[in-house]
């Protein structure tokens, strides 16, 4: 069967989690179920996995595809991983051997012509993983002023031409609001065309799309909350594995792991530790793992992936 979403760094993730029979694992971003499927296969006959996704379509798809094969070894919940601290214990996963975060969006979402995640697929600019929360991206483009849009494109997209693009959005909406992915991609292409000398050609709207998606899903806040909850849920020896796809995500992961490894969270100007925090994690990947050129050739979506993993220490 040809898969719609190829799991990234699948072998490496399995090696890090080494899921055994009888273990309890969490896949906080079940997506197309690629990692989930491999973890359940590797932990047969009775390893169990809790799979979360904020997107109900992902949960439905994985339930249909994997439910009949794995039965009650697979527990699925439509939930944001920022709620992991309450969702996991309620589902019977209060103390686990592994937890995986494979951040960002799946190829199914990118190809969905109704949600505006990708400039190639097009469609109305919604971009929410869960449409019952927050506001669509088109509403931000229709209501934020030029300074607010500039700040958003800079903060979440690290877009160097943020101000020029923001002003063009505000100018364009005087006559017609920017409501589709095609509208936005064309506008960015017009006001911030690609540099012909640039070696790696990405679409000029890539950073703006990323910024809007991060904003409407509050992705960076969710990540910080999800990571903190995951460490609380891990048993000693349990592993946390995170795949990130851009520097903003990876920075949060890297800093989080460094703080948990160090233990002390006192401000650097204090001469002695007063916080009393103990290290809770040991880094397993140092510094990080990226896909091989063969994997990138097979699956171009993996090219920006970076995996970091850590192990929970005994209390
Ligand atoms: C890269 S895909 C995961 C792919 C999956 N590992 C696989 O192999 O098929 C990321 C998924 O995470 C989900 N997601 C992103 N942020 C989330 C959050 N805060 N809470 C729950 N799910 C989230 C997205 O809806 C998407 O389905």
Query: How far, in Å, from the CA of 167 to the mean position of ligand 1?
Result: 32
Tens-place pLDDT, residues 149-163: 999 999 999 999 999
**Residue range 239-256: average pLDDT?**
96
What is the mean predicted confidence (pLDDT) over 25-52? 98
Which one, of 37, 8, 42, lies nearest residue 23 by Cα?
42
What pLDDT is recorded for position 3? 47
For 172-201, write each residue's pLDDT tens digit: 999 999 999 999 999 999 999 887 777 667
Q: Is 35 in the pocket of ligand 1 (CB under 6 A)?
A: yes
For residues 271 and 170, which has the higher predicted lDDT (pLDDT)? Answer: 170
Percent with pLDDT over 90 in the chain: 84
How far does the centroid of ligand 1 lie from the alpha carbon of residue 188, in Å?
27
Q: Are strands 281-283 and 306-312 parallel, antiparallel or unpaired?
A: antiparallel
Q: pLDDT at position 297, please?
A: 95
Which ligand 1 atom is nearest residue 7's CA?
A: 8
54 Cβ inside 6 Å of ligand 1: yes
For the Cβ of 51 lying below 6 angstroms from any atom of ligand 1, the answer is no
| 47 CA to centre of ligand 1 in angstroms | 21
Would you say the CB of residue 5 lies under 6 angstroms from ligand 1? Answer: yes
Angle between the N-to-C axes of helices 206-217 and 219-233, in degrees from 0 to 180, rounded to the nearest 10: 60
pLDDT, mean of residues 122-140 = 94
pLDDT, mean of residues 71-85: 98
Dihedral over Cα of 107, 112, 118, 119: its sign: positive
32 in Cβ contact with 58 (< 8 Å): yes
Q: For 103-118, how does the pLDDT look when each residue is reduced to its tens digit (9 = 90+)?
A: 999 999 999 999 999 8
């Amino acid at each position: 069967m040809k898969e719609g979403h190829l799991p990234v760094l699948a072998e490496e993730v399995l090696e890090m989690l080494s899921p055994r029979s009888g273990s309890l694992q969490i896949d906080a971003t079940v997506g197309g179920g690629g990692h989930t499927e491999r973890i359940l296969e590797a932990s047969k006959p009775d390893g169990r996995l809790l799979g979360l996704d904020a997107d109900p379509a992902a949960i439905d798809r994985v339930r249909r595809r994997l439910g009949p094969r794995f039965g009650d070894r697979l527990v699925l919940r439509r939930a944001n991983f920022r709620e992991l601290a309450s969702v996991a214990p309620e589902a019977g996963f209060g103390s686990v051997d592994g937890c995986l975060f494979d951040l960002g969006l799946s190829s199914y979402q990118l190809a969905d012509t109704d949600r505006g995640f990708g400039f190639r697929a097009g469609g109305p600019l919604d971009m929410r993983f869960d449409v019952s929360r927050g506001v669509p991206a088109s509403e931000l483009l229709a209501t934020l002023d030029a300074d607010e849009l500039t700040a958003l494109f800079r903060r979440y997209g690290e877009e160097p031409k943020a101000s020029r693009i923001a002003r063009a959005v505000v100018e364009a909406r005087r006559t017609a609001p920017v409501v589709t992915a095609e509208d936005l991609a064309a506008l960015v292409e017009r006001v911030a065309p690609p540099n012909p000398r640039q070696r790696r050609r990405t679409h000029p709207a890539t950073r703006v799309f990323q910024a809007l998606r991060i904003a409407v899903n509050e992705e960076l806040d969710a990540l910080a909350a999800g990571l903190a909850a995951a460490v609380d849920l891990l048993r000693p020896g349990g592993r946390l594995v995170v795949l990130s796809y851009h520097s903003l995500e990876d920075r949060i992961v890297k800093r989080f792991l460094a703080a948990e490894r160090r233990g002390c969270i006192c401000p650097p100007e204090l001469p002695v530790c007063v916080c009393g925090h103990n290290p809770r994690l040991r880094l397993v990947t140092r510094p990080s793992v990226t896909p091989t050129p063969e994997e990138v050739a097979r699956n171009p979506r993996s090219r920006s992936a970076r995996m970091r993993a850590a192990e929970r220490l005994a209390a």
